[in-house]
């Protein structure tokens, strides 16, 4: 194979001539005849030929234009006709797959459509059409995937008209598995019923949503439910702030005290601790609730514990919940006790839905850049393209 043939990257081509000017024009033809695509026999003859002009990658800043001589064959055995087929060139297209993939990867990497129209000499509508075709191809390939072993489930807002959507995230590989419109069991039933590999899911991380817990128990029978650490700690802090509002409405309005109350006690400086203790000394009930809340958060932030260590801490945790049940925070204690098993499992697992929340931020950014989505399927494809895979398409 000549060096020019290898540069083209298309197999079984013979280069007739090359002209260099503003663009690089290459005239080529097939190196050999093909067997019949219908009966696989070698007895074929050339009926006619025609020339195709295609855009094919760039050499530096110069566009390569490929003038391809395409034979039309006639099989004398089966008496059928067919045209010569080239690897990497689709029928009735005016650009090779290598060129289309080059435009897609540039646009996916952040190059604007306006810039691509000048560098690759194509229209902005063509860039969008090619990008959508590759995204659809990749989403179609991803649609047959089995469920991941560690699954994160959470909701996010889609639009005022269609409401909320549910995000399924592969927490092990940090990829969005899928996005489904709706957050109730009725809206997710048809999707979850045909979801492949549900029995492979071993861990499901979620917030304290009773709807998602019922869905997990019904559709993922082999999975253990693990509560999301961030949402549990936030629930504790919200209950504490409500109790603070009841005991001292004026102190609750102090932004400096609010910042100190929200933080973990072990992260405060000596000066901040002194200021906070001076305020809490004025209300013994609030002081007792604050230190009980800090002790509870100390249990909730633990992770990667061995089974033996978790068994040793469980009686202390239950005793603390009993104290909360006999205090003004009994509603919080009832909620934590109803989610006791998923909360205790947080001690053993390190995964959380922080990965999912990060993807939600990225989804919101995608929606803002598009000035909102009306069609949910377009939104889903864009999310999977940006958050569900690495952006590389392997072509033969």
124: which 2 tokens? 């902005």
Instruction: Output the CA–CA distances (angstroms, integers) from residue 103 to 59, 120, 141, 148, 173, in the order listed.
Output: 14, 8, 20, 32, 27
Long-range contacts of 118-124 (CB under 8 A, 24+ apart): 119/58, 119/61, 120/55, 120/58, 120/63, 121/55, 121/63, 122/55, 122/95
Tell me, yes or no, whether 207 and 285 share the same domain.
no
Tell me, yes or no, if the pTM score tops 0.85: no
Tell me, yes or no, whether 255 and 221 share the same domain.
no
Tell me, yes or no, whether 173 and 315 share the same domain.
no
CA dist 264 and 233 (Å) reads: 10
Sheet with 224-227: list strands edge to edge.
175-181, 163-170, 150-159, 203-206, 224-227
Tell me, yes or no, whether 128 and 220 share the same domain.
no
Tell me, yes or no, whether 185 and 114 share the same domain.
no
Domain end marker among 112, 142, 172: 142
What is the band of 136 on the pLDDT scale with cuts at 50, 70, 90?
confident
Tell me, yes or no, whether 233 and 295 share the same domain.
yes
**392 in any annotated domain:** no
Tell me, yes or no, whether 181 and 251 share the same domain.
no
**82 in any annotated domain:** yes
User: With the C-alpha atoms ordered 329, 332, 334, 337, is the resulting torsion angle positive or negative?
Assistant: negative
Asked if the model's pLDDT at residue 258 lies above 60, the reply is yes
pLDDT at 393: 53
Do 296 and 324 contact (CB within 8 A), yes or no? yes
Q: Give percent above pLDDT 90 in the chain.
A: 48
**358 in any annotated domain:** yes
CA dist 257 and 266 (Å) reads: 16
Asked if the model's pLDDT at residue 308 lies above 50, the reply is yes
pLDDT at 165: 95
Tell me, yes or no, whether 237 and 289 share the same domain.
yes
- How many domains does the chain fold into? 4
Tell me, yes or no, whether 192 and 136 share the same domain.
no
CA dist 333 and 87 (Å) reads: 66
What is the band of 391 on the pLDDT scale with cuts at 50, 70, 90?
low
What is the band of 382 on the pLDDT scale with cuts at 50, 70, 90?
confident
Report the alpha-carbon angle 106-360-235, nearest 5: 160
pLDDT per position as a tens digit, 39-61: 888 888 999 999 999 999 888 78
**202 in any annotated domain:** yes
**21 in any annotated domain:** yes
pLDDT at 132: 86
Do 257 and 251 contact (CB within 8 A), yes or no? yes
**395 in any annotated domain:** no
Q: Which domain holds residue 380?
A: 150-227+352-387
H or E element at residue 343: helix 340-345
- Identify the three-state secondary structure at position 91: coil
pLDDT per position as a tens digit, 144-167: 778 899 999 999 999 999 999 999
**370 in any annotated domain:** yes
Asked if the model's pLDDT at residue 89 lies above 60, the reply is yes
In degrees to the nearest 10, what's the CA dihedral of 79, 83, 87, 88?
-140
pLDDT per position as a tens digit, 5-31: 556 778 788 888 888 888 889 999 888
Do 234 and 324 contact (CB within 8 A), yes or no? no
Domain end marker among 76, 94, 112: 94
Tell me, yes or no, whether 310 and 210 share the same domain.
no
Asked if the model's pLDDT at residue 396 lies above 50, the reply is no
Tell me, yes or no, whether 236 and 329 share the same domain.
yes
pLDDT at 62: 85
**394 in any annotated domain:** no
Tell me, yes or no, whether 381 and 307 share the same domain.
no
pLDDT per position as a tens digit, 210-236: 999 999 999 999 999 999 999 999 999
């Amino acid at each position: 194979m000549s060096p020019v043939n290898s540069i083209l990257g298309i197999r079984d081509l013979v280069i007739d001539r090359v002209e260099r000017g503003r663009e690089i024009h290459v005239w080529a033809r097939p190196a050999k005849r093909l067997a019949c695509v219908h009966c696989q026999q070698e007895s074929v003859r050339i009926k006619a030929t025609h020339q195709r002009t295609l855009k094919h990658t760039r050499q530096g800043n110069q566009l390569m234009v490929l003038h391809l001589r395409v034979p039309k064959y006639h099989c004398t055995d089966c008496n059928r006709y067919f045209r010569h087929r080239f690897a990497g060139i689709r029928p009735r297209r005016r650009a090779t797959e290598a060129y289309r993939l080059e435009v897609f990867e540039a646009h996916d990497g952040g190059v604007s459509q306006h810039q691509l129209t000048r560098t690759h000499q194509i229209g902005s509508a063509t860039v969008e059409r090619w990008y959508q075709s590759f995204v659809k191809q990749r989403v179609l390939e991803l649609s047959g995937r089995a469920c991941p072993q560690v699954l994160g489930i959470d909701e996010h807002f889609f639009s005022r008209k269609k409401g909320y959507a549910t995000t399924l995230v592969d927490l092990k590989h940090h990829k969005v598995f899928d996005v489904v419109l709706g957050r109730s069991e009725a809206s997710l039933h048809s999707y979850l019923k045909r979801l492949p590999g549900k029995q492979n899911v071993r861990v499901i991380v979620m917030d304290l949503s009773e709807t998602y817990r019922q869905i997990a128990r019904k559709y993922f029978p082999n999975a253990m439910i693990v509560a999301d650490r961030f949402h549990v700690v936030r629930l504790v802090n919200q209950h504490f702030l409500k109790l603070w509002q009841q005991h001292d409405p004026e102190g609750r309005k102090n932004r400096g005290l609010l910042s100190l109350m929200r933080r973990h006690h072990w992260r405060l400086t000596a000066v901040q601790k002194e200021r906070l203790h001076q305020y809490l000394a004025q209300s013994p009930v609030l002081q007792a609730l604050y230190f009980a809340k800090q002790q509870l958060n100390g249990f909730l932030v633990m992770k990667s514990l061995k089974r033996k260590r978790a068994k040793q801490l469980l009686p202390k945790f239950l005793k603390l919940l009993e104290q909360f049940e006999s205090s003004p925070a009994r509603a919080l204690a009832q909620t934590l006790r109803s989610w006791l098993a998923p909360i205790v499992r947080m001690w053993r697992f390190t995964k959380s839905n922080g990965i999912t929340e990060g993807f939600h931020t990225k989804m919101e950014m995608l929606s803002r850049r598009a000035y909102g989505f009306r069609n949910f399927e377009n939104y889903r494809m864009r999310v999977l393209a940006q958050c569900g895979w690495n952006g590389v398409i392997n072509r033969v």
